Structure 1
């Protein structure tokens, strides 16, 4: 994957399947993008604690050791991690949840790489894997106030199928649950 030379996304040279050795890279990108996205929305101490727990390398190591989980890592020419996507069996409270559903647990990309097709390519990898696994739907949860993410998901065919509450620190936030129908 390459973009124009004047575009920072030109530095992204590959998206590859992540393996057990990539837990630290996924954790780093996860924490960095969470901070980048939610600084000014969430309290700083809550962000730091959330990232310490939810984006710990051990969390990613467990996911990458699970045969039901698949992840892809976007890297620059110098192999610096800048984004990733991760799918897994769903953990969402939906009344019609099926064992044939999959969840896009995370799709994160550093903001300077937005707009160059890297996010789309990560999404394409996740959707292709969900289809290969004969998934009925690809689900995800996203903060209701994240307009950029909501627009990205809408452009990729996702529609709202539910809501949930998301806790960071002492506060709760509203998420929407979206689905991409893969099969009727």
Structure 2
């Protein structure tokens, strides 16, 4: 099935919130507290997506992947927020697809578009943070040319501390 990637609009916020919440619940099951994942609310997340989209302006790029007119994925990237970031470094803030389309190319289509748009913006490097225990995510990013750069950060979520690893790729 053909995946179309386009810029996200405000009309996509509810669908993106579903993708994000479903994506978290699937990708982070067993890594983050079950109660935290269960408490995620699509309506609240949709409002947060609207606020993020309105605040982002042109600085942050939000993209959606569609199949047959249905939003099946979402990605967002912009300037690297790390203290050691160089000028022109970009960061992939998020990339999620609906669990039922994992492994079908929707995530790859989003990643390809993120990389193309980052290059068009003049980014020389793109980084992202991934949970250390997220083996499928780490494999996906490795296949896309990313590798750990040695940076590790603890992250507290729902009363549990997990470790994030930074992956990076030269563009």
Fold match (TM-score > 0.5): yes
Please report the RMSD computed on the Cα atoms of aligned residues, expressed in angstroms.
1.9
1:27 aligns to 2:27 (yes or no): no
Counterpart contact for 1:63–1:69, Cα < 8 Å: no
State the shift of 1:13 in Å. Answer: 4.4
Measure the CA separation in 2 of the matches of 1:36 and 1:87: 22
Secondary structure, counterpart of 1:72 in structure 2: strand
1:138 maps to: 126
Off by >3 Å, runs of 4+ in structure 1: none
Q: 1:42 aligns with which of 29, 32, 42?
A: 32
Aligned partners of 2:31 and 2:133 also within 8 Å: no
Deviations 1:90-109 (A, max 9, x none): 233x5x31231111111101
Instruction: Provide structure 1 residue ranges, at least 5 long, that are not aligned to the other structure.
Output: 3-11
CA shift digits 1:97-131 (9 cap, x unpaired): 12311111111012321222211110011001110
**Residue 70 of structure 1 pairs with residue 58 of structure 2:** no
Alignment map for 1:71-110 (pairs within 5 Å):
71-77=62-68, 79-92=69-82, 94=83, 96-110=84-98
Match of 1:59 among 48, 52, 74: 48
Q: Does 1:160 align with 2:155?
A: no
Alignment length (residue pairs): 167
State the alpha-carbon separation in 1 of the partners of residues 74 and 127 from structure 2.
Answer: 17
Task: State the match for 1:118 in structure 2.
Answer: 106
